[in-house]
C-alpha cells in the first residue's frame, strides 16, 4: 500500500538517533525501530503479512520504503529471511532488474579476486581501519583470495582501478554522505565529495557485486539519487549499501568477515543452488548475533568464553540454514547468563533490536547470482 511511505518521517528520526552519542542510544534506537516496524505491519495489512509469513524464507521487495524492518516472529525480515530490494526509482533501474538479465553463474574461483578501492586523506585516522580491525580475518582470507587494495584520490583514478580489474567483487572503503539540500549521495575521493554518477561513462564494466563500506550510501528515508543507486545505474547487479552512518571499526570488521566467508564458506556451498543473496544474509545474521552478544557482555552477565561459544553455535546454525537460529541463540544467552528466557527476550527488544548489522541494505538482484562449482570440479 502507498501508505507505507508515511514512515519516512520516522525514518529520519531513526537516522538522527543512529548518529547520536548519548548513553541511551541503544534503547532509543530499539524503541524507534520497533515503532517503525509496528507502523509498517499496520500499513502493509494482514493479508499481505500472511503471504509474507507463509513464504519459504525468501523475499523480494519492490519498494522505496525499507520494508526489511517488517517483523517476522519479532525479528526484522532482513534477518529472518533472505531479502533483497529493488527501489522503484529511478524507473530504468527498476525495469532493468525486473525484466532484465535472467542471471549470472559464478564459481568460487570467480569470487576469489577482490578489488578494494580505498580513498582517504593521508592523515585520516581511519585510513587503515580495515587492515587493523580485520587483521585476523584478512590473514586467513589472503591465503585463498587475491585481495588487491588500490588507493585513489580522484574520479579518474577510481575509474582506472575498476577498468583494470576483471573480477566480480568491488569494495569501496572510504567516507560517504548524503546531501540534505539536494538529496544526492556523495562519496569522498581525495578528501573531496563527488557524485558517484560522475563515474558513469568512465567505467567500461562495473563488477556485478559492489560493497560500499562507507556511511549513508542509501539513506533510511530513501532517495533515487543515493550512492548505492548510482552503482546499480552503472550496471552492478548486487549493491550492499548503508542506511545510516556506521562506525569505521564495525564496517571494517564486516568487510573482513565477508572476505573470510568468501574464502571458507563459498567453496562449501558451490553447486548447492545457493545464491549471493544467501552469502550476505548469513553474514548479516552472524554480525547481528555478534552485536547482540556484545550488549550482554557489556552488562557482565556472560563471559568472553560464553561469547565465543554462543557465537560458534550460532554461526553453525546459520550456515546450516536452521530456521530457529535466533531462538536457539536467545536460549543459549539465557543459559549462560542465568536469566529467564523472558528476561533475555525483553532485554534484546529494549536494548539491542537495531544494531550495526541493521545499518546495511541489500539492493538489486543478488538472488540472480548463482554460485556454481569451479570448472572441472568433480560433481560426484
Q: What is the pLDDT of residues 152-188, one digit of tens each?
A: 999 999 999 999 999 999 999 999 998 877 889 999 9
pLDDT value of position 50: 92
pLDDT value of position 3: 77
Start-to-end CA span in the chain (Å) = 48
Q: What is the pTM of this model?
A: 0.94
Mean pLDDT check: name the lowest of 13-17, 119-123, 183-187, 264-268: 13-17
pLDDT value of position 1: 76
Mean pLDDT check: name the lowest of 5-14, 164-173, 304-313, 340-349: 5-14
* Distance from C-alpha of 239 to C-alpha of 102, rounded to nearest angstrom: 17
Instruction: Quickly list DSSP for 88-145.
Output: S-SHHHHHHHHHS---EEE-TTTTSEEEEEEE--TT-TTTTHHHHHTHHHHHHHTTTS
Q: Bigger pLDDT: 26 or 169?
A: 169
pLDDT value of position 100: 67
> CA dihedral in degrees (7, 51, 1, 180; nearest 10)?
30
Mean pLDDT within 114-118: 97
pLDDT value of position 379: 47
Q: Is the peptide bond before 285 cis (omega within 30 degrees of 0)?
A: no
Crossing angle between the packed helical segments 341-351 and 276-298, to the nearest 10 degrees? 100
Beta bridge partners of 62: 86
pLDDT at 71 over 70: yes
pLDDT at 58 over 70: yes
Burial class (CB in 10 A: 0-12, 13-18, 19+), 2: exposed
Q: Bigger pLDDT: 20 or 40?
A: 40
3-state SS, residue 32: helix
Q: What confidence tier does 376 reach under pLDDT thresholds 50, 70, 90?
A: low
Q: How far is CA 240 from the centre of its chain?
A: 5
CA distances from 94 to 100, 236, 377 (A): 9, 13, 36
C-alpha cell at 202: 568512465
pLDDT value of position 380: 41
> CA dihedral in degrees (371, 70, 68, 299; nearest 10)?
-100
pLDDT value of position 4: 81
pLDDT value of position 91: 82
3-state SS, residue 352: coil
pLDDT at 377 over 70: no
pLDDT value of position 275: 96
CA nearest 85: which of 310, 240, 204? Answer: 240
The total of other beta-carbon atoms located within 10 Å of residue 16's CB is 12
pLDDT value of position 23: 74
| Neighbouring residues of 259: CB distance < 8 A, sequence distance ≥ 6 | 114, 134, 137, 138, 141, 145, 147
The 10s digit of each residue's pLDDT in 73-89 is 999 999 999 999 999 88
Instruction: Quickly list DSSP for 164-194.
Output: T--SSEEEEEE-EEE-TTT--EEEEETTEEE
The 10s digit of each residue's pLDDT in 45-55 is 999 999 998 88
pLDDT at 217 over 70: yes
* Distance from C-alpha of 291 to C-alpha of 289, rounded to nearest angstrom: 5
pLDDT at 378 over 80: no
Q: Bigger pLDDT: 10 or 21?
A: 10
Amino acid at each position: 500500500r502507498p501508505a507505507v511511505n508515511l514512515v519516512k518521517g520516522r525514518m529520519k528520526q531513526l537516522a538522527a538517533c543512529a548518529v547520536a552519542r548519548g548513553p541511551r542510544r541503544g534503547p532509543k534506537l530499539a524503541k524507534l525501530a520497533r515503532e517503525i516496524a509496528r507502523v509498517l505491519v499496520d500499513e502493509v495489512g494482514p493479508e499481505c503479512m500472511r503471504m509474507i509469513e507463509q513464504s519459504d524464507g525468501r523475499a523480494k521487495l519492490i519498494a522505496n520504503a525499507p520494508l526489511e524492518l517488517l517483523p517476522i516472529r519479532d525479528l526484522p525480515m532482513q534477518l529472518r529471511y533472505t531479502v533483497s530490494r529493488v527501489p522503484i526509482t529511478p524507473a530504468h533501474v527498476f525495469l532493468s532488474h525486473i525484466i532484465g538479465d535472467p542471471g549470472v553463474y559464478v564459481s568460487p574461483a570467480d569470487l576469489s579476486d577482490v578489488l578494494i578501492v580505498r580513498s582517504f586523506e593521508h592523515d585520516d585516522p581511519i585510513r587503515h581501519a580495515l587492515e587493523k580491525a580485520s587483521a585476523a580475518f584478512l590473514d586467513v582470507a589472503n591465503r585463498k583470495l587475491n585481495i588487491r587494495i588500490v588507493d585513489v584520490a580522484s574520479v579518474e583514478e577510481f575509474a582506472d582501478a575498476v577498468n583494470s580489474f576483471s573480477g566480480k567483487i568491488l569494495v569501496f572503503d572510504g567516507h560517504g554522505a548524503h546531501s540534505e539540500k539536494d538529496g544526492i549521495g556523495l562519496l569522498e575521493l581525495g578528501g573531496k565529495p563527488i557524485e558517484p554518477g560522475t563515474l558513469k561513462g568512465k567505467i567500461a564494466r562495473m563488477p556485478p557485486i559492489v560493497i560500499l563500506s562507507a556511511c549513508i550510501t542509501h539513506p533510511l528515508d530513501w532517495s533515487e539519487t543515493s550512492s548505492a543507486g548510482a552503482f546499480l545505474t552503472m550496471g552492478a547487479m548486487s549493491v550492499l549499501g548503508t542506511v545510516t552512518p556506521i562506525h569505521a571499526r564495525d564496517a571494517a570488521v564486516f568487510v573482513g568477515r565477508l572476505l573470510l566467508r568468501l574464502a571458507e564458506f563459498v567453496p562449501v556451498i558451490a553447486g548447492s543452488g545457493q545464491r549471493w543473496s544467501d552469502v550476505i544474509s548469513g553474514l548479516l545474521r552472524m554480525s547481528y548475533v555478534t552485536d547482540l552478544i556484545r550488549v550482554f557482555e557489556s552488562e557482565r552477565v556472560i563471559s568472553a568464553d560464553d561469547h565465543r561459544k554462543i557465537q560458534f553455535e550460532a554461526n553453525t546454525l546459520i550456515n546450516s540454514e536452521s530456521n530457529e537460529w535466533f531462538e536457539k541463540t536467545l536460549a543459549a544467552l539465557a543459559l549462560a547468563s542465568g536469566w529467564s528466557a523472558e528476561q533475555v527476550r525483553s532485554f534484546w527488544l529494549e536494548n539491542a533490536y537495531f544494531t550495526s548489522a541493521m545499518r546495511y541494505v541489500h539492493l538489486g538482484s543478488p538472488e540472480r547470482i548463482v554460485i556454481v562449482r569451479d570448472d572441472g570440479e568433480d560433481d560426484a
